[in-house]
Amino acid sequence: MPVTVEIKDAIAVVRVNNPPVNALSHAVRQGLLAAVQKVETAENVKAALLICEGRTFIAGADVREFNKPAQEPSLPQVIDAIEACPKPWVAAIHGSALGGGFEVALGCHYRIADRSAKVGLPEVTLGLIPGAGGTVRLPRLTPISTALEMITTGKPVAAEQAKALGILDALITGDLLETAQAFTRGIIEHPRPLATRDRALPQAAPLPQFWESASAVLTKKAKGQKSPLVALEAVKSAVELTFEESYAREREMFLQLRTSDQAKALRHVFFAERASSKLEGLADIRPRPVEQVAIIGGGTMGAGIALCFINAGFEVTLVERDQPSLEAGTDRIKGLLQASAKRGLITEKAAEEKFNSLHQTTDYNDLAEIDLAIEAVFENMAIKKQVFQALGQALKPKAILATNTSYLDVNEIARTTDRPSDVVGLHFFSPAHIMKLLEIVEAAPTAPDVLATGFALAKRLGKIGIRSGVCDGFIGNRILKVYRKHSERLLLEGATPHQVDSAMRAFGLAMGPFEMQDLAGLDIAAAQRTAAREQGQDVFAPISDRLCALERFGQKRSKGWYVYQEGARAPIEDEEVNALIREIANELGTPQQSRSEQQIQQAILLPMINEACFILEEGIAARPLDIDLVEIHGYGFPRWRGGLMHYADTIGTKTILKALQTMDGVEPSPLLERLATTSRSFADLD
């Protein structure tokens, strides 16, 4: 039974036990409603204590039920019954009370929590709003601005802060059950007014400009996602309408959002993230133990990778070619830690302790006990081969040799050593200590337990690990090349950088392709093009090449695709660049045409989808969901669109194929043709 009731000393201890996170499944809702009825009718019960087994309180709804027909009792029915119970209910919270779980706690008459607990309403991250009274009850316990922040961002609040904000009645130290029982006995012996029942509790309505300002801020942050703005409307209703009216309005908005395309897309991402590490053939493979890690190279990427491992509790050694380079690398790591302390993410003492834990060396002989070495030197095959030859000789047997290369052939790197089965690609994304994506690149000789170790490391580092096969650019950068190519092709056909960037921001990206290139530096991509051309690849970038020849490298030079005022990052259209684009288009004889915002988006996105199909067909990516997660976590693809392949399914394979057949320079993938012919979707391949 997922819900049990034990009566002792006039207290009904209502236990929820639905592993792993006590989700509010249909069976749990039934059990809670039955518990309310038992508490109400039992003469020997004077109060109820709601507590959960396992590692957490109720951590939310059972998301798997969202795609199924609703079953009664609904969550609002359960919570209303708890709130209407004539005997007080106390919620004893440990772990996390999130979403529907927190709404259950809000329906209880008292809330107490372990000091390490967290509470929150993260429904907006699934394209929803709270649907069982969260937007109505929370503003009656805490200031409107606090409730609005929690509901529209979905960010949880730590227990001590929740107590200070009036959300919790008490904090618990010691045994949860014993302390909660003592608190409940105190309620029985010294009854208090059940304030949460006063649905007419007056609200200090904010001034009109409060809502206008909040709406403007949310609109900018949401980048096209609807649920945060609907959440704002729900909180506003809770302040301006009666409890009953706003409660009904909340439920109406929740049900509308639950069937929306955005909610479906966000649920897809939710399940994809949980499936990302569940690869066929790895379930029974034990990862190798890793505690001591060496990072070879202390540049921007190497420093970020080192900080990832330091923050995760690994013993880290930074390796550089000489003492000045080593000092520069350690300074970068120190600077990153100090920046974290300034932002309040860690204390200054913690930053100092983390930095002091870092080992430093210029001698590969110091790496004899290292479990994992990650090479993060220049994107130059000759240099990387030298590093791997040295690592192969210095590291102990069964130690893992990893490369952070973005484009180079991991098979070729592995052949440099006499232990190729120990080699794997671990492609971090910059800034490595912040970005969640980790491409785990499986070379032909990579041992299964080495690949499994990559996924174990991703989990410990708090990253999304995605398996990739070996090809130029792996999954993400291979698609990025197509993104850049077709963005530039649009310029030759008559669009301006500003028009393309605006269209992609409207799609939901934080930045357009040309703004992003200016931020990263056009010389970075130019170096990659040079390397690719040296290998015989045909790289199309006539305008980018001309800009680099003019040393227009982006923000670092105050001019690139745009110009920048000194000390500012805001791009300003440059008529010189627009004139240069027209000149090159004339030289190439490219026909000009005008496109709408949507046509610009499709001209870029459909070739990306097509390239992803080739990646799937070649086995570089195992599943469409892996490509979705790479694009979301590595390249800023809007989460609320579900990723590139989920977005493709909203268009339809037949429509995509028909459009691609009209595009110059695009050969439709055989996989896409098969899916279109058989009316299948990419979701079918997951």
| Residues forming the active site | 103, 123
CB atoms within 10 A of CB 104: 26
Of 285, 264, 279, 266, nearest in space to 626 by CA: 279
* Residue 247 · residue 133 · CB < 8 Å: yes
With CA atoms as reference, report the closest residue to 295 among 306, 309, 286, 282.
Answer: 306
In this structure, what token pair is assigned to residue 194? 């059940």
Non-local (6+) Cβ contacts of 589 within 8 A are none
Alpha-carbon span 77 to 75, nearest angstrom: 5
| Interatomic CA distance for residues 532 and 481, integer angstroms | 11
What are 98's strand-pairing partners?
120
Backbone angles phi, psi at 98, to 5 degrees: -125, 150
Query: Using an 8 Å Cβ cutoff, are 538 and 524 in contact?
Result: no
DSSP bridge partners of 51: 15
Contacts with 468 (C-beta within 8 Å, 6 or more apart), sequence order: 425, 427, 439, 440, 441, 442, 474, 475, 620, 621, 626
Q: Enter the tokens of residue 662.
A: 């009209």
Of the chain, the end-to-end C-alpha distance in Å amounts to 33
CA distances to 108, 124, 161, 267, 643 from 271, in Å: 30, 16, 31, 6, 12
Neighbours of 517 (CB within 10 A): 25
Residue with tokens 């000091």: 115
Query: 3-class DSSP state for residue 98?
Result: strand
DSSP one-letter code for 175 = -
Question: Given CA atoms 57, 142, 242, 193 in this order, what sign does their dihedral have?
Answer: positive
**Strand ranges inside 27-122, DSSP E:** 47-52, 89-93, 96-98, 110-114, 118-120
What is d(CA 22, CA 342) in angstroms, rounded to the nearest whole number?
A: 37
Question: How far is Cα 267 from Cα 683, in angstroms, rounded to an integer?
Answer: 13
